[in-house]
Amino acid sequence: MATLKLISMRLKSVKSIQKITKSMKMVSAAKFARAERELAPARIFGVGARSLYEVTDLASEEREKKKFLAILVSSDRGLCGGIHSNVAKSIRADLNGELENYDTKLVIIGDKVKSMMQGKHGSKIVLSVNDYGKKVPLFEDASRLAEEVIASGVEYDIGAVYYNNFKSVISYNTSKIPIFPVDALESSEKLSVYDDIDNDVLQCYHEFSLASLIFYTMKEGACSEQSSRMTAMEAATKNAGEMIDRLTLRYNRTRQAVITKELIEIISGAAAIK
């Protein structure tokens, strides 16, 4: 049977945890409000970057597709539910399914998904970025990452950006946006719907569209992460409150039992003297 001291120490510890989770919930709520405000203008980047791929309809074109590039967007921070593991589950499902016969390469943003993928699929990782998630993502960060992806020389016939798509405060889903190399754009039959595009212009637009898609998915992921962390900390605070109630009741019952035992010993001793 636990002593009063042990129950008291446990009660004090849970109360401290409740204060921390409550504070983290308030911080996440403030960060979520900012992330949600910044998400609306960032979505314009995503819509604009995807328009060329949708008009040219590269996904449906019949061409050789053997090499796949997956860009996984997560962060370095935890305590936000299963938001990072969902990205890892999504790419794992594809690797065991439709990408089974592809030569797949991974570019990972954030240490959380990297730690989940490097065990079995570590050989597929060509580039990883850490120290991400503590600050608000900027277009400069996405541009730098797009430059590193292009400079790495990784070859791919088709690819996708895996990210968490924000829906509401309590809802998000893991999605993917297709990406294509500049060679596929140059050889596209439907590129003629535009005026004649110089190869250098097409190359620049391809780099800008890749940076725009990464920036857009970063913003979606950041908003989803803050909302998920806020929800997780709210649930943790509630669970801590319930545990405090149970421990308080247990402490009072144990204390009552100890007092009753001491009274019985005193009364028994007094009776024995008489």
Instruction: Please state, in angstroms and rounded to a whole number, the distance separating the CA atoms of residues 257 and 248.
Output: 14
Report pLDDT digits (tens) over 217-274. 999 999 999 999 999 999 999 999 999 999 999 999 988 988 888 888 888 887 777 6
Domain harbouring 84, CATH code: 3.40.1380.10
pLDDT per residue as tens digits for the range 136-191: 888 999 999 999 998 888 888 889 999 999 988 888 999 999 888 888 777 776 66
Q: What pLDDT does residue 191 have?
A: 64
pLDDT at 2: 66
222 part of a folded domain: yes
Contact assessment for residue 138 and residue 132, using Cβ atoms and an 8 Å cutoff = no
- Using an 8 Å Cβ cutoff, are 162 and 143 in contact? no
Residue 64 falls inside a structural domain: yes
Interstrand relation of 103-109 and 171-179 (parallel, antiparallel or unpaired): unpaired
Domain assignment of residue 208, yes or no:
yes
Give the pLDDT band of residue 45 (cuts 50, 70, 90). confident
Predicted confidence at residue 171, as pLDDT, reads 85
- Structure confidence at residue 49 as a pLDDT band (50, 70, 90): confident
- Percentage of the chain modeled with pLDDT above 90: 45
**Which among 156, 161, 164 has a CA at the least distance from the CA of 176?**
161
pLDDT at 56 over 70: no
For residue range 86-125, list pLDDT tens digits in order. 999 999 999 998 888 899 999 999 899 999 998 888 899 9
Mean pLDDT confidence for 125-142 = 87
Packing angle, helices 83-95 and 199-273, rounded to 10: 130
- Predicted local confidence at residue 77, as pLDDT: 87
Categorize the per-residue pLDDT at 201 as very low, low, confident or very high, splitting at 50, 70 and 90: confident
* Residue 15 placed within a domain: no
78: pLDDT strictly greater than 90: no
Instruction: Give strand ranges (E) for 28-83.
Output: 67-73
The alpha carbon dihedral of 123, 125, 131, 136 has a sign of: negative
Domain assignment present for residue 254? The answer is no
Count of domains in the chain? 1
For residue 80, what is the DSSP state? Answer: B
Span 154-166, pLDDT tens digits: 888 889 999 999 9
Give the containing element (helix H, strand E) for 167: strand 158-168
Segment 121-131 mean pLDDT: 89
Query: How are the residues of the chain apportioned to helix, strand and coil, as percentages rounded to the nearest 5?
Result: 65, 15, 20
Range of the domain at 169: 38-228
Look up residue 250 and give its two tokens: 């247990």
Instruction: Confirm whether 33 is domain-assigned.
Output: no
**Can you give the pLDDT at residue 193?**
59
- Taking residue 95's Cβ as centre, other Cβ atoms within 10 Å add up to 19
Phi, psi of 32 (to 5 degrees): -65, -40
In a domain, residue 61? The reply is yes
Residue 273 in any domain: the answer is: no
